[in-house]
Amino acid sequence: MTSKLLRFLLAVVFTFSVASFAQTTGGTGSALPAAPSAANTAPADPGVVANGGGSRLGTINIDQAIFASNEGQRDFEALSKKLEPKETELKNLNDEVENLKKQVNSDKITEEARATLVKQIEQKQKSLERSVQDARDDAQNQRNEIAGRILNKMAPLIVKYAGDKGFGVIMDTSQAWPQGPVLWAAPTVDITKAIVEAYNVQSGVPAPVRPATKPATTGATAKPAAPATTKPQTAGPAPK
């Protein structure tokens, strides 16, 4: 039971679900709607006003835009590394409980020792579950803070882009229908990529540097294949 619970909660804690933050609170503590749009998430800034009269309908995946931005990739990767020690700690606690379970099922211990082990397991299991819950809440709060901070800066950009390009409505496709409002939309009306590119320019955050991947080799020391030797054709005279 503990092992299954831990695996489930660890997945919640340490896997960054791009659809989760929109249903919870942002960095300021104010509740965000389940399907945020540029109109109702943009700060009340009188200097950011969309041009009226637009008739085009567009879509944007808000979650994807946040996580795909250079700033989002940088900050969420940093958070993931920050949480690694806690993940290791929880896995070690779980291993400890599992080891005790193996001992309690052994035929070599007395009933008195077995009863003592059962109490230990119950106490450690409760402690583990509390620790996992605390870690989940802490990770969620930090994730929400990052997403909310980026969204607050991205929302005015979305509003301005929509107005400049003649959009009358921008709908969020972060959640698939029927959870989300959009049943179907052509890729040509999606502005997610354009917003990400514009936000990267605005933020000035460089793209994350990814480590170069080495080509796979089948042996200890792979040598490049020798180039095939070809003879020049002699069917006709050489060009002068």
- The structure tokens listed for 17 are 């679900």
pLDDT score recorded for residue 51:
54
Least confident of 22-36, 81-95, 133-147, 215-229: 22-36
pTM, to two decimals = 0.66
The Cα 162–Cα 159 span in angstroms is 5
Average pLDDT of the residues of the chain: 77
Do residues 172 and 51 make contact, with C-beta atoms less than 8 angstroms apart? no
pLDDT score recorded for residue 121:
94
Least confident of 48-57, 112-121, 228-237: 228-237
Q: What is the pLDDT of residues 75-132, one digit of tens each?
A: 999 999 999 999 999 999 999 999 999 888 888 888 899 899 999 999 999 999 999 9
Rounded to an integer, the average pLDDT of 14-39 is 35
Percent of the chain with pLDDT over 70: 66
Question: Which residues are within 8 A (CB) of 99 and not within 5 positions of it... i.e. 6 or more apart?
Answer: none
Look at the block and give the residue holding tokens 């579950």: 129
Do residues 23 and 17 make contact, with C-beta atoms less than 8 angstroms apart? no
Alpha carbons within 13 A on the beta-carbon side of 45 = 16
Rounded to an integer, the average pLDDT of 49-59 is 73
Three-state secondary structure readout of 62-126? HHHHHHHCHHHHHHHHHHHHHHHHHHHHHHHHHHHHHHHHHHHCCCCCCHHHHHHHHHHHHHHHH
Alpha carbons within 13 A on the beta-carbon side of 4 = 1
Nearest Cα to Cα of residue 136 among 94, 175, 66, 87: 87
Question: Which residues are within 8 A (CB) of 205 and not within 5 positions of it... i.e. 6 or more apart?
Answer: 69, 70, 71, 74
Q: Does residue 229 have a pLDDT over 50? A: no
Helix (H, G, I), strand (E, B) or coil at 199: helix
- The H or E element spanning position 157 is helix 111-164
Q: What is the pLDDT of residues 189-217, one digit of tens each?
A: 999 999 999 999 999 999 998 877 665 55
Q: Does residue 232 have a pLDDT over 60? A: no
Nearest Cα to Cα of residue 143 among 29, 36, 16: 16
